[in-house]
């Protein structure tokens, strides 16, 4: 066992060793931390270095861009047609044709004048000869205080977004190009590439544009002007001459204060008479509105300043031949409409072949109309590409877009399309009749009675469109229109279709694209809209660009494959296209032949306003859509056929090389024979049977009730009964009109079906012992009918009940068995009418012991079909704003025979009982959640109910 001294010694030894260990570990920890920190700092330095220098542009780019003779920026940016072979426009001021690349060699004619050098440096970079090419001024503000930095910013880093990293990279490159190429070269490059406005890049071009002289010949005052313009290119002598003169004086003062010139030079410069060039050549532009739209779209992906500097080739979607032929036809036709001489019909040696296709029978109908303007667009709706685009560039208007104009009846297809989404179909019957609820009027001033939806749409009848708009709800129409890109079409929810004609404005491009969706099986194609918010559905814009590349062949932008997204189903689009391409359907409005017949399937729609100062024509084949607008500001009117005639010519020319294909029927579409105009299944009484198309599941299941064959007494004109002598009974087919259409039918001269029965009785009246007391004569019955009455007599043997269809049945069917028990005012028998419908005769026969027969006959109408009922407004779950104190509750109710009444219940409390259409009531609204129940009862007691919940806020 160790002694106490040994124990103490061991403890001291362990304590000393632990202390040494702790100091050792502390040192190791500090060393490790410092090492890791050094590594981290080193890694951050490497990361920073990589960030700054990653993809740093090569310094050799500047000579490639700016040095003659092959510098890329010495070649203007050119826009080509879709083939890439025909130049549409060069983005270069016409004065640049004789441009010279300026040098510092004083013995050369393209010598860079010292006055321009001094004016430029005094205003843009006073320390140019002393600094290293860059300055830390403006590091965080994004400015470029030196010429070298401006060169780098405009030509090397133009595609990088503004940031501190970009600012540092800019200064690194500015220092490098100054060190490598020298200050003089930087000065030469800068003055040969600076932007002076009006597509004048380089001082020599600017001098020719503004002073009509080369830069080598300008004086000090003119040099001050160029230096001032260089600072703000939009303020140039052609656009703001007075402002430029004032700013030039400021430049001269800056030069004086900086010692660049002396007082005498400054005084002489101030007194110089500055003469600016007032007339400049304009760029030859065959499609100005289209080119402006191209540049606008490119500006969303590329710096327009860099694009205008030159060196790019833009292949657009424009078809040069179509553009020329469309321009030619439009100019020629509008001149003829105004009684003016034909303009020259050739351009660049191309003959105006489209003018030959203008149908002479439709030209010159508005010879008194003056100041006609026109827009025209041709689209490949499969890709969304613009093939031709004609429009005016007027002061104050967006030069890249068409102005809006009242859409007129061009918008009615979108009302009917909304109806298709809610169960209507091309065969749906609409009533084109006058009524107190009509807010709209037909443009031909007449009413046409019952029409299939197809006929109403094809012939521009607006009253039926008003019915559909009311039925489906204006808000739903606008929502659908928005999906088609028709943002500007929206009007207040209570607006009528007539309001739509005059007040709802659209542009030609937007409405043509919307019609293109219908022709493209419901797909909206085009250029992906990069400006759409991320949370919104995908959207596209009309495509104008196929490809952008530079002179080296590098492709910067490629839109060869455009995007598309569905707007409506192929089935809905096909329904509408089928109607719009139905030539016979529009004969009643346009006659036959008419200008919308171009020798191939053509889905066309004309649009007109109530004032007839704007007319539209839009037509599609499976391959392209063509839209036309004609209008004028005076009080004259334009016939809608004028637009149709122009569409005829342009469409025939544009489609000449396309196969004459129609639209293929998509799956889910069925064809069925229906009665016209009811759209129901045909009966032998239907005068006209047509084939109609339906989305599967929406085909009619009921037989036509619009036309009914009635037996009448030809002498009295009343409905025949069993008592009418057979030789006086005659069958006639009548059009059955609702009460609200009877006045229209009377004015139209239609024969009115009789509504009273012939009261001529037979020679002998039935005995009191033989009588049917219930049902009564002409009653409506259904289900199991209890037949009450009396069958008795002193010589009674048996009685028999029988029924037969019609007024004078040829065949009788016995009801039940013969009964040997007499009955006095009690139940005679029960008749099951299930499955039966229409007029029947009910007969009681009493056979006496001596075989004499007594009888009584009653006529009844059998109705076993319940009414059809739907609530139009409000819809289930709808939140109705309490904008007014009352809310209109509306139902649609139909019955195959006769309605008795329609009851409205709010929160299960009866608020109204209507016996005549329209089935609409005004309810004193109350805030909160409510239920609406509507019950319809027909004359036979069949009922139908519908219930919804809604909320008033």
Tens of pLDDT along 127-164?
A: 999 999 999 888 888 789 999 999 999 999 988 888 88
Average pLDDT over residues 704-724: 85
What span, in angstroms and rounded, lies between the C-alpha atoms of 730 and 713?
6
Contacts of 151 (CB under 8 A, 6+ apart): 62, 174, 177, 186, 189, 190, 193
What's the pTM value of the predicted model, to 2 decimals? Answer: 0.78
Q: Give mean pLDDT, residues 817-842.
A: 92
**pLDDT for 366 beyond 50:** no
Q: Which of 825, 898, 809 is nearest to 857 (CA)?
A: 809
Dihedral sign of CA atoms 580, 581, 586, 591 in order:
positive
pLDDT at 894: 81
Residue 33 has pLDDT above 70, yes or no: no
Q: What are the tens digits of pLDDT across the range 766-807? A: 678 999 999 998 899 999 999 999 999 888 999 999 999 987
Q: What is the mean pLDDT of residues 33-50?
A: 54
d(CA 945, CA 868): 9
Query: Which two tokens mark 450?
Result: 């019952």
Mean pLDDT of 828-836: 93
| Cα-Cα end-to-end distance for the chain | 98
Give the side-chain half-sphere CA count within 13 A for 81.
18
DSSP letters of 803-864?
EEESSS-SS-EEEEEEE-S-EEEEEEEEEE-TT--EEEEEEEEEEETTS-EEEEEEEEEE--
List residues bridging with 693 in a β-sheet: 671
The answer, yes or no, to whether residue 412 has pLDDT greater than 80, is: yes
pLDDT for res 162: 86
In whole angstroms, what is the distance from residue 524 CA to residue 544 CA? 15
pLDDT of residue 362: 43
27-31, 427-431, 612-616: range with lowest mean pLDDT: 27-31
535, pLDDT greater than 70: no
Alpha-carbon radius of gyration of the chain: 44
Q: How far apart are CA 399 and CA 449, in angstroms?
A: 46
433: pLDDT strictly greater than 50: yes
- Burial of 728: CB neighbours in 10 Å, binned 0-12, 13-18, 19+: middle
Q: Which two tokens stand for residue 342?
A: 């034909």
* pLDDT score for 533: 45
Token pair for 643 = 């637009």
pLDDT score at 352: 86
pLDDT for the residue 329:
92
Best-predicted range by mean pLDDT (25-29, 224-228, 391-395): 224-228
Question: Residue 505: CB partners within 8 Å, gap ≥ 6?
Answer: 404, 405, 406, 407, 488, 489
SS3 content of the chain, % helix, strand, coil (to 5): 35, 25, 40
Distance CA 416, CA 422 (A): 10
pLDDT of amino acid 882: 74
- Number of Cβ within a 10 Å radius of residue 576: 24
> Tokens for 680?
């129901």
pLDDT tier, 4 (very low <50, low <70, confident <90, very high otherwise): very low
Which pLDDT belongs to residue 420?
94
- Stretch 377-391: mean pLDDT: 96
CA distance 705 to 754: 16
pLDDT at 2: 46
Of 881, 863, 871, 882, which Cα lies nearest the Cα of 931?
871
Q: What average pLDDT does this structure show over 528-534?
A: 56
What is the number of residues in the chain?
953
Could you give the percent of the chain with pLDDT greater than 70? 87
Share of the chain above pLDDT 90, in %: 53
Given a cut of 80, is residue 723 above it in pLDDT? Answer: no
Across 475-483, average pLDDT = 86
More confident call, 538 vs 220: 220
User: What's the pLDDT score for residue 785?
Assistant: 94
Identify the pLDDT of residue 215: 94
Q: Which of 30-39, 73-82, 314-323 has the weakest average pLDDT?
A: 30-39
d(CA 806, CA 709): 11
Task: Judge whether residue 394 has pLDDT over 70.
Answer: no
For 421, the 3-state DSSP assignment is coil
pLDDT reading at 326 higher than 60:
yes
pLDDT at 761: 53
- Confirm if 459 and 403 have CB atoms less than 8 A apart: no
**Residue 7 reports pLDDT greater than 70:** no
Mean pLDDT (whole number) for 94-98? 86
pLDDT of residue 764: 45
pLDDT of residue 532: 47
952, 880 Cβ separation under 8 angstroms: yes
What pLDDT does 874 receive?
87
Average pLDDT, the chain: 86
pLDDT at residue 660, as a whole number: 93
In this predicted model, what pLDDT tens digit does every residue of 168-200 receive, in sequence order?
999 999 999 999 999 999 999 999 999 999 999
Q: Is the model's pLDDT at 531 over the cut of 80?
A: no
Region of poorest pLDDT, from 320-334, 601-615, 632-646: 632-646
Q: How far apart are CA 144 and CA 151, in angstroms?
A: 9
Average pLDDT for residues 457-485, to the nearest whole number?
87
249 three-class SS: helix
Predicted local confidence at residue 35, as pLDDT: 53
Confidence of residue 827 (pLDDT cuts 50, 70, 90): very high
Residue 953 has what pLDDT?
83
Are 814 and 800 within 8 A, CB to CB?
yes
Rounded mean pLDDT, 223-229: 96
**Tens digits of per-residue pLDDT, 549-596?**
988 888 989 988 888 899 999 999 999 999 999 999 999 888 899 999
pLDDT recorded at residue 112: 92
Structure tokens at 238: 């052609």
pLDDT in tens, 877-905: 988 877 656 787 888 888 878 888 999 99
């Amino acid at each position: 066992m160790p002694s106490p001294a040994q124990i103490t010694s061991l403890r001291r030894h362990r304590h000393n060793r632990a202390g040494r260990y702790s100091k050792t570990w502390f040192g190791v920890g500090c060393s490790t931390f410092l090492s890791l920190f050094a590594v981290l700092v080193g890694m951050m330095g490497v990361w920073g270095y990589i960030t700054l220098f990653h993809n740093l542009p090569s310094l050799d780019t500047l000579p490639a861009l700016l040095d003659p003779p092959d510098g890329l920026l010495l070649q203007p940016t050119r826009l080509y047609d879709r083939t890439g072979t025909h130049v549409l426009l060069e983005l270069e001021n016409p004065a640049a044709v004789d441009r010279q690349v300026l040098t510092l060699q004083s013995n050369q004619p393209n010598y860079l004048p010292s006055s321009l050098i001094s004016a430029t440096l005094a205003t843009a970079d006073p320390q140019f000869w002393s600094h290293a090419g860059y300055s830390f001024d403006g590091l965080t503000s994004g400015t470029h205080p030196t010429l070298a930095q401006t060169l780098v910013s405009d030509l090397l880093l133009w595609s990088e977004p503004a940031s501190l990293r970009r600012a540092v990279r800019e200064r690194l490159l500015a220092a490098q190009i100054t060190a490598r190429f020298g200050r003089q070269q930087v000065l030469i490059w800068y003055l040969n590439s600076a932007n002076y406005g009006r597509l004048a890049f380089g001082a020599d071009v600017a001098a020719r544009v503004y002073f009509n002289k080369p830069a080598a010949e300008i004086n000090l005052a003119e040099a001050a002007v160029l230096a001032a313009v260089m600072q703000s290119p939009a303020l140039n002598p052609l656009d703001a001459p007075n402002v430029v003169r004032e700013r030039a004086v400021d430049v001269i003062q800056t030069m004086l204060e900086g010692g660049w010139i002396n007082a005498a030079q400054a005084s002489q410069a101030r007194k110089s008479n500055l003469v600016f060039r007032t007339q400049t050549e304009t760029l030859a532009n065959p499609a100005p509105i289209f080119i402006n739209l191209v540049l606008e779209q490119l500006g969303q992906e590329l710096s327009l300043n860099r694009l205008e500097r030159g060196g790019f080739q833009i292949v657009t979607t424009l078809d040069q031949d179509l553009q020329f032929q469309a321009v030619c036809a439009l100019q020629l036709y509008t001149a003829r409409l105004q009684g003016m001489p034909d303009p020259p019909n050739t351009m660049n040696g191309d003959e105006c072949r489209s003018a030959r296709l203008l149908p002479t029978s439709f030209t010159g109908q508005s010879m008194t109309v003056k100041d006609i303007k026109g827009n025209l667009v041709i689209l490949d709706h499969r890709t969304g590409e613009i093939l031709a685009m004609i429009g005016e560039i007027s002061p104050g208007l967006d030069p890249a877009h068409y102005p809006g104009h009242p859409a007129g009846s061009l918008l009615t297809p979108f009302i009917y399309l909304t109806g298709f989404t809610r169960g209507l179909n091309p065969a749906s019957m609409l009533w084109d009749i006058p009524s107190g609820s009509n807010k709209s009027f037909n443009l031909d001033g007449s009413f046409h009675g019952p029409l299939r939806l197809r006929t109403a749409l094809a012939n521009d009848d607006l009253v039926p469109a008003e019915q559909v708009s009311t039925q489906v709800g204006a808000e739903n129409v606008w929502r659908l229109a928005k999906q088609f890109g028709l943002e500007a079409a929206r009007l207040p929810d209570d607006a009528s279709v007539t309001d739509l004609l005059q007040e709802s404005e659209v542009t030609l491009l937007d409405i043509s694209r919307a019609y293109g969706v219908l022709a493209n099986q419901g797909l909206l194609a085009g250029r992906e809209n990069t400006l759409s918010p991320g949370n919104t559905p995908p959207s596209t814009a009309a495509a104008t660009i196929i490809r952008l590349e530079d002179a080296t062949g590098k492709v910067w932008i490629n839109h060869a494959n455009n995007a598309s997204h569905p707007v409506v189903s192929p089935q809905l689009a096909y329904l509408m296209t089928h109607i719009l391409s139905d030539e016979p359907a529009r004969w009643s409005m346009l006659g036959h032949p008419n200008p919308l017949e171009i020798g191939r399937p053509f889905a066309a729609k004309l649009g007109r306003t109530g004032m007839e100062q704007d007319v539209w024509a839009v037509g599609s084949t499976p391959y392209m859509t063509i839209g036309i607008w004609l209008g004028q500001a005076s009080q004259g009117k334009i016939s809608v056929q004028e637009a149709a005639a122009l569409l005829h010519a342009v469409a025939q020319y544009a489609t000449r090389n396309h196969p004459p294909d129609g639209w293929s029927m998509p799956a889910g579409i069925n064809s069925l024979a229906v009665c016209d105009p009811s759209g129901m299944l045909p009966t032998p009484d239907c005068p006209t049977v047509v084939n109609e198309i339906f989305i599967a599941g929406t085909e009619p299941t009921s037989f036509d009730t619009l036309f009914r064959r009635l037996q009448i007494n030809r002498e009295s004109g009343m409905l025949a009964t069993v008592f009418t002598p057979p030789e006086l009974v005659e069958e006639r087919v009548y059009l059955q009109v609702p009460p609200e259409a009877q006045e229209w039918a009377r004015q139209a001269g239609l024969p009115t079906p009789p509504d009273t029965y012939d009261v001529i009785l037979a020679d002998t009246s039935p005995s009191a012992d033989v009588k049917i007391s219930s049902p009564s004569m002409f009653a409506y019955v259904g289900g199991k009918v209890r037949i009450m009455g009396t069958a008795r007599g002193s010589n009674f043997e048996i009685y028999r009940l029988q029924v037969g269809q019609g007024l004078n049945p040829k065949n009788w069917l016995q009801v039940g068995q013969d009964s040997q028990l007499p009955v006095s005012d009690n139940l005679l028998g029960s008749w099951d009418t299930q499955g039966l419908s229409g007029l029947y005769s009910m007969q009681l026969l009493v056979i006496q012991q001596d075989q004499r027969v007594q009888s009584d006959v009653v006529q009844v109408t059998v109705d076993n079909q319940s009414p059809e009922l739907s609530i139009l407004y409000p819809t289930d779950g709808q939140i109705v704003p309490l904008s007014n104190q009352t809310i209109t509750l509306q139902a649609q109710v139909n019955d195959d025979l006769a309605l008795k009444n329609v009851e409205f219940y709010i929160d299960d409390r009866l608020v109204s009982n209507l016996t005549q259409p329209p089935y609409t009531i005004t309810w004193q609204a109350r805030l909160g959640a409510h239920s609406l129940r509507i019950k319809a009862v027909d004359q036979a007691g069949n009922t139908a109910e519908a219930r919804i919940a809604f909320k008033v806020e």
